[in-house]
């Protein structure tokens, strides 16, 4: 947790925009005091952590015979989240959850995380405390302790960066590029609820209260499918991806990486009843929330029929939904059977730099 010139300005008299002249940093704390105060709210590191928060770097010990799975994500206020629509505890939870989901999409087990914050000086200490409470809740739920990170000052929006290290038995990580003709295409859970929840928050709508709460909770608290990813890996999945940018985008990524065509039966795509009801209210196709909404953090992938049957049996015993939605064939791209006609499904999911 090395200091930076920007971070050091928190401690400089007369440079603190969050309070009166001479008051140090956020809540009267300098960088290192703020780090100590916030990380004290996190769960204690568990097995495999030799050195955690408080030194120049963390030291961890993976289990024998494992490979490391590393991923990082950045969330920017106003782009990936808004305090107007989510409590700070939800923002903290999501910060870690999105990276945990990437590990799940490789069939891995999340083990350790480092989290960095670029914080505007006007942010309240109580908001940061709630953010860390949410971060800690996700770390505890997925047994992925935060073992380090950094906090710096920025004059721009709040930026949250999470890096997660997971493990997977050597040589078994499931990539996007393994789909083969004859494989089944599957997806876990239901799709579209997070996008529908954001739609409700942004535009309102008269829906039953239980459906409103379900949709908004789906937007605010992603649920990475770690157990499903491990089961699918063990059962022989040939490709996996997490549905972060919309089903259309992820299917096209698998098709492109694998050099195949994915043929989808649109009627088989699982969409929650609450999503269908909101779509009816809006006068839109409910599948639009699934194809292009994003942030579902379910798993989509492929497997030979016998491997899918085995995974279906194991996941059903764990009460984890999974559905066959299509098949892999020779060719390229993604096509879908929609009410008896074939449509090309373009990758129109979320893209930071799309023009």
* Residues contributing to the annotated binding site for Mg(2+): 56, 71-73, 102, 150, 242, 245
Q: How far apart are CA 293 and CA 311, in angstroms?
A: 27
Q: Where are the alpha helices (DSSP H) in the chain?
A: 5-8, 31-39, 88-104, 125-141, 193-203, 209-220, 226-235, 247-258, 273-282, 287-292, 305-317
Cβ 37 vs Cβ 58: under 8 Å: no
Q: How far apart are the first and last CA of the chain?
A: 37
Residues 9 and 133: their CA atoms lie apart, in Å, by 26
Cα–Cα distance for residue pair 11/9, rounded to 1 Å: 5
DSSP H or E run through 324: strand 322-329
Query: Could you tell me the two tokens for 39?
Result: 């990380």
DSSP assignment string, 168-188:
EETT----STT--TTPEEEEE
Please answer whether residues 123 and 83 qualify as being in contact, where contact means their C-beta atoms are separated by less than 8 angstroms: no
Can you read off the two tokens belonging to residue 58?
Answer: 């963390």
- In sequence order, the 6+-apart residues with CB closer than 8 A to the CB of 207 are 200, 215, 274, 277, 278, 281
What does R_g of the chain's alpha carbons equal in angstroms?
A: 22
Give the DSSP letter of residue 23: -
Q: Binding site residues, as ranges?
A: 56, 71-73, 80, 102, 132, 149-150, 176, 242, 244-245, 295, 350
For the annotated binding site for substrate, the residues are 80, 295, 350
Helical H segments across 242-326, by residue range: 247-258, 273-282, 287-292, 305-317
Helix/strand/coil for 202: helix
Q: Which residues are annotated as a binding site for ATP?
A: 132, 149-150, 176, 244
């Amino acid at each position: 947790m090395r200091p930076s010139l920007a971070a050091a300005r928190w401690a400089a008299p007369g440079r603190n925009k969050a309070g009166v002249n001479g008051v140090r940093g956020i809540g009267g704390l300098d960088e290192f005091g703020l780090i100590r105060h916030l990380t004290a709210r996190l769960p204690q590191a568990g097995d495999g952590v030799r050195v955690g928060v408080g030194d120049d770097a963390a030291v961890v010990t993976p289990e024998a015979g494992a490979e490391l799975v590393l991923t990082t994500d950045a969330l920017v206020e106003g782009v990936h989240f808004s305090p107007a629509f989510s409590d700070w505890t939800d923002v903290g939870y999501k910060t870690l959850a999105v990276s945990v989901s990437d590990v799940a999409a490789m069939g891995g087990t999340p083990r350790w995380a480092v989290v960095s914050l670029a914080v505007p000086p006007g942010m309240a200490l109580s908001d940061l405390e709630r953010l860390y409470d949410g971060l800690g809740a996700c770390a505890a739920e997925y047994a992925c302790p935060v073992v380090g990170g950094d906090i710096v000052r920025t004059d721009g929006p709040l930026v949250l960066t999470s890096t997660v290290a997971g493990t997977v038995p050597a040589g078994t990580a499931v990539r996007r590029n393994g789909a083969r003709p004859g494989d089944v295409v599957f997806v876990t859970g239901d799709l579209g609820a997070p996008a529908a929840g954001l739609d409700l928050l942004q535009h309102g709508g008269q829906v039953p209260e239980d459906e409103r709460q379900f949709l908004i909770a789906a937007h605010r608290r992603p649920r990475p499918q770690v157990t499903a990813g491990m089961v699918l890996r063990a059962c022989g999945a040939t490709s996996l991806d997490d549905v972060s940018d919309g089903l259309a985008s992820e299917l096209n990524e698998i098709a492109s990486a694998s050099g195949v065509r994915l043929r989808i039966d649109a009627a088989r795509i699982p969409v929650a009843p609450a999503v269908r009801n909101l779509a009816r209210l809006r006068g839109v196709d409910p599948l639009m929330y699934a194809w292009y909404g994003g942030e579902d953090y379910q798993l989509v992938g492929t497997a030979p029929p016998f491997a899918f049957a085995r995974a279906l049996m194991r996941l059903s015993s764990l009460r984890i939904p999974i559905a066959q939605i299509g098949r892999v064939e020779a060719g390229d791209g993604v096509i879908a059977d929609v009410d008896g006609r074939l449509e090309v499904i373009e990758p129109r999911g979320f893209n930071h730099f799309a023009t």
